[in-house]
Amino acid sequence: MSGGTFPPYPASLWEYIILGLVLISTCVLGAYDYSDRENETSRNKALDAVTYVLMSLFFLEAAVKIVALGIFSHQLSYFRNPWNIFDFAILVILYKRGGKEIYK
């Protein structure tokens, strides 16, 4: 693999779906009312529900990619791609920061 881009294949429907979920997640962050500290408005409650669904989908994406690519076994493994490492770190931070309550 010399001089090529990573990944060495064209973007798939899967990648476009995940990108769409990232964009939705970004919009949810922008729509959140941070002045509502007690999270009492119906808008923030709805956005929290969407956030939990998105977080679950991102965990599912990581799990599917780990199973499909393997963890470290070959050059295209999950943890040999810097973007996957970044994504996994974000998932760990989300889980530690507040996602634990969802997955009890």
Which residue ranges make up each domain of the chain?
13-101
The crossing angle, in degrees rounded to 10, of helices 42-69 and 13-31 is 150
Report the greatest alpha carbon distance in the chain: 54
Q: Between vectors from CA 94 to CA 36 and to CA 52, what angle results, nearest 5°?
A: 65
Backbone φ and ψ for 59, nearest 5 degrees, come out as -65, -40
Q: Convert the pLDDT of each residue in 51-81 to its tens digit.
A: 889 999 999 999 988 998 888 888 889 999 9
Q: Which residues of the chain have pLDDT under 70?
A: 1-11, 98-104
State the virtual CA torsion across 85, 80, 63, 87 in degrees, nearest 10. Answer: 20
Q: What is the pTM of this model?
A: 0.76
